[in-house]
Structure 1
Amino acid sequence: MKQFISLIKTEFRRIFSNSVLVAIFFGAPVLYGLMFIQVYKKGKVAEMAIVVIDEDNTPMSAKIIDALNDNENLTVAKVQFDAGNIAAEMPSKEYVSVISIPKEFEADILQKRYPELMVDVNTANLVTANFASRAIQTVLGTFSAGVEIESLKKAGMDHATALQRYEPFKVNYNRFYNPSGNYLYLMLPGILGTIMQQVIFLGLGLVFARDFEDGYFNKLVKTSRSSLYHILLKLTPFLLLTAAMWMVVGSFYFIYRIDIPVFSIQMAALVTLFSLACMFIGMLFSLAIPNQLKATELLMVLATPSFILSGYTWPLEGMPVLIQRFADILPLTHFLQGFRKLSVYGGTFRDIQPQMMALGIITIVSFVLIALLLQLKIRNTKNQVVTQ
């Protein structure tokens, strides 16, 4: 035991002697986490620039413009009274929408000819397009209802009857789970999970590769011929360091008052199994590719598309079957699915059982491969020593 503790201390010294690893392992989750919180802090896109082409130029069209400008998500950046050439301005101005009010719009409304407003939405960015479309629909729908009710009242109908005549039945929409449409609640868990997977991959991708390169593995083999001993030796420091980083990452939710429950027994179990799966994959690459640069490069190639392939923002069901199967071997896929079930839906252990089983399989398969490959390398190293 004394020897094991001494070797653990040596492992910590070797970890902290690698300034690049320390900077990435500890700096990336903190710095990137804080940066992305600031990026998505508002949760919504506000004051998106729109253009109104007002060919009617009447009091009613002016009211529509005022109503659009009063919406918190929109700002009327420009009003012009002819069609002009808005397309020429789009590359520099990037208006999210162009709303065209036709000639004789007010007159057509008063004479019940049902004129048509044209709303062109810029879908180059689907996020701003969705926010803008919803805001414009709300404003114009409310305005349209108000005009119809006022028309009925002018025809002699009382206010209550006018409301009932315009709206013969009511439809109530209740938005469950992130009802405010806060983008921070959607993106932050996915981004932080992706960052943690990558830094764990990087940290464990170096543990054996570095030992093979500088000859330290030959010294370790003399202490024990058991692959399990060496796996535990390499794993222990990163278990402690990773747990500390998860606590730091989890504290962001409290510091910035993000209403997502992250400290629970279920979440702790999910995070632990996710971390172990990432560690063993990283360790497996470190053994299979005994070169620090190549091992980390291949791990980054594996990790880079993981967020897109996880199904977190685009459903897995919409991807080709081959890509779905590839996504299944990535720990992040199952972690984010489980995280959403726990944090958003308020799920239980039973709800995340498929994700826990998938992470468990990844962990066990990687562990068995590591044990076999490491035992082979220990035997080969011993044979080389005897031969020499």
Structure 2
Amino acid sequence: MLCSLTRFWAIANKEIRQLGRDKLTLAMIIGVPLLEITLFGYAINTDVRQLEAAVADQANTTASRELVRSAEATQVIRVINTVDGPVELKRLLDAGRIEVGIFIPPDFERRLQDNKRPAAQLMINGSDPIIAGIAHELVKLPPPFADPDRSPAVLEARNYYNPEQRTEVQIVPGLIGVILNLTMVLFTAIAIVRERERGNLELLIATPVRRGELILGKIFPYVIIGMIQMNIILFVGAWLFDVPIRGSVWDLYIAALFFIVATLALGITISTMAKTQFQAMQLTVFTFLPSILLSGFMFPFEGMPEPAQYIGEILPLTHFVRLTRGIVLRGSELGPLYPELLALAAFSVVMVAVAIFRFRKRLD
């Protein structure tokens, strides 16, 4: 029994010492629980306030201005723009610039006295059921300077893009990015590490292949794999869940190409940092968790505090979720969404540059 315990402690002691030398694993042991408790306890908030809104006040009366002030006083919305009419409001909704539009017609005062119909219209981006539910609180606003017992609500709510409030309509477009993010980063994260572990990196020393050529060559095959995966997700989403594709499929392919390159660049950068395939998978999980929680895929981006939003803006998934939901659900073109493409392109350039700088064509 004594001998058995001795052998047991020898193995345990060896494992403890090995973990002590593995700085990345030690960082993950401390970092993962800290990251999770911070994200779930602080950054995730489903009680969204200050939704970006625009107003088209064609009445421009004391009562109409009071209605807008009352809406802002609820802190549900924050008016960031004023436009001429409902066409401009719809254009801002399509481009994802606002979540709520308030249209006040010219005969607003007369409509307030009519006890049979709403006096103004609330235009809501209903693609996210959580945001749509919160925006509907504005329907409860009391009528300004009118009979408080007025039967119909002052504002009539209209949900665009997902009038049935089906969760799968909102989830599936974002799920394209989540699946691609996980698979693309994981595939390339182990690319160079696998070459090193198998001894294939020795062959590269004797070749004239440059660092940039090796990095880009590692990325290219997975671009094709990523596009195949996107087609599979789109087909299943349309077939099983009846998710409409209102925009151009070609625009969606272009957006996917930008995102796939960005995630592959992140993966190859991880591959230059990790020493083993296990470490590469650890780092993949470490980057995947903030991506899925801070991108707006699961929880409304507007409900997060500003520090969390700043981090989310760095992540490629945040911009791709906006692109896919804009194209698939709102039928938006790439033109109004170009800032998201620029963000993905900038991220790709930075990550590829870091990967090329870190990679050394040598065995150590």
TM-score category, normalised to shorter length? 0.5 to 0.7
1:224 to 2:182 alignment: no
Deviation at 1:263, TM superposition (A): 5.6
Name the CA shift for 1:171/1:298 in 2 (closer, same or farther; >3 Å).
Answer: closer
Distance in structure 2 (CA, Å) of the matches to 1:167 and 1:326: 46
The structural deviation recorded for 1:223 is 2.4
Instruction: Find the counterpart in structure 1 of residue 163 from structure 2.
Output: 179
Shift of 1:210: 0.8
Task: Measure how far apart 1:239 and its partner are.
Answer: 1.8
Deviation per residue, 1:166-199 (Å, 9 max, x gap): 9588864422120111111012222332122111
Distance, in Å, in 2 between the alignment partners of 1:266 and 1:366 is 24
Structure 2 residue aligned with 1:353, among 338, 343, 360? 338
Q: How does 1:43-122 map to 2 (within 5 A)?
A: none
Amino acid at match of 1:240: I
TM-score scaled by length of structure 2? 0.55
Aligned 8 A contact 1:210 1:290 in 2: no
CA distance in 1, matches of 2:150, 2:226: 60
Q: In structure 2, which of residues 345, 349, 353 is the aligned counterpart of residue 364 of structure 1?
A: 349
Pick from 227, 236, 249 the counterpart of residue 220 of structure 2.
Answer: 236
Which runs of 5 or more structure 2 residues have no equivalent in the other structure? 1-128, 137-148
1:266 maps to what in 2? 251
Number of aligned residues: 222
Partner of 1:301: 286
CA distance in 1, matches of 2:234, 2:263: 18
Shift of 1:267: 1.0
Rounded Cα–Cα distance in structure 1 between residues aligned with 2:153 and 2:341: 46
1:146-295 alignment to 2 at 5 Å? 167=151, 172-256=156-240, 257-261=242-246, 264-295=249-280
Q: Residue 122 of structure 1 corresponds to which residue in structure 2?
A: none
* RMSD over equivalenced CA pairs, Å: 3.0
Q: Following the alignment from structure 2 to structure 1, what is the Cα–Cα distance between the partners of residues 184 and 199?
A: 23
Task: Measure, in 2, the Cα distance between the counterparts of 1:201 and 1:168.
Answer: 53
Q: CA deviation at 1:325?
A: 2.2
2:102 corresponds in structure 1 to: none
How far apart, in 2, do the equivalents of 1:372 and 1:299 lie? 20
Q: Do the aligned residues in 1 keep the contact of 2:247 with 2:331 (CA within 8 Å)? A: no
The amino acid across from 2:235 in the alignment is: S
Offset of 1:292 from its aligned partner? 0.7
Sequence identity, in percent?
A: 23
The alignment partner of 2:285 has SS state of: helix
CA contact (8 A) 2:269 2:354 kept: yes
Normalised TM-score (structure 1) = 0.52
Query: In 2 relative to 1, CA 216–338 (structure 1 residues): closer, same or farther, beyond 3 Å?
Result: same
Cα deviations across residues 11-46 of structure 1 (Å, max 9, x unaligned)?
A: xxxxxxxxxxxxxxxxxxxxxxxxxxxxxxxxxxxx
Structure-2 separation of matches of 1:341 and 1:269: 13
Cα pair 2:246 2:330 within 8 Å, conserved: no
The answer (yes or no) to whether the contact 1:250–1:262 under 8 Å persists in 2 is: no
Query: Helix, strand or coil: the match of 2:160?
Result: coil
Is the 2:247–2:329 contact (alpha carbons within 8 Å) kept by the matching residues of 1? no
Number of the residue aligned with 2:295: 310
Cα gap change, 1:229 to 1:167, in 2 (>3 Å)? closer
